[in-house]
């Protein structure tokens, strides 16, 4: 009985820690993307006349693409992190693994064990 309670406690503690990690990830995402937005809106205008390399079209296009692409790609990762924590309730990969994959792994293990026994 006590082991079940400690197991439930450990699982609840893991969920709380995973939620804290998600919220930390979200804070960093917001802060960095606010800084990227400030750079996109202001910094290029401040340095545009001062630096020749900022006036090159290729660099300007590359920088704009990166300043827009970073929040999008990172946002997808953040969404996946949120799904893991809140939708799937921080289950382990073993618990989330599809049934066909579990069966395949079991067959492979049995196959290798048979091969080992034959040697």
User: Once rounded to an integer, what is the mean pLDDT over residues 66-93?
Assistant: 89
Using CA atoms, how far residue 30 sits from 17, 25, 27, 35, in Å, is 20, 9, 5, 9
**pLDDT score of 29:** 97
Of 13-22, 47-56, 60-69, 108-117, the poorest mean pLDDT is in 47-56
Q: Could you tell me the pLDDT band of residue 89, with boundaries at 50, 70 and 90? A: confident
- pTM: predicted TM-score of the whole model, two decimal places: 0.67
> Domain boundaries in the chain?
2-91
**pLDDT score of 40:** 77
Give the tens place of pLDDT for each residue, 21-59: 999 999 999 999 998 888 777 765 665 555 555 556 677
**pLDDT score of 52:** 52
Counting residues of the chain whose pLDDT is more than 90, the rounded percentage is 41
């Amino acid at each position: 009985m006590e082991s079940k309670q400690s197991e439930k406690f450990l699982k609840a503690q893991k969920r709380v820690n995973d939620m804290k990690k998600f919220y930390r990830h979200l804070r960093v995402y917001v802060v960095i993307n606010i800084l990227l937005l400030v750079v996109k809106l202001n910094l290029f205008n401040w340095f545009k006349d001062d630096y020749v390399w900022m006036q090159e079209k290729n660099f300007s296009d590359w920088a704009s693409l990166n300043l827009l692409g970073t929040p999008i790609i990172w946002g997808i990762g953040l969404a996946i992190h949120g799904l893991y924590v809140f939708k799937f309730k921080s289950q382990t990969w073993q618990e989330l693994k599809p049934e066909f994959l579990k069966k395949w792994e079991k067959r492979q293990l049995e196959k290798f064990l048979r091969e080992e026994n034959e040697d």
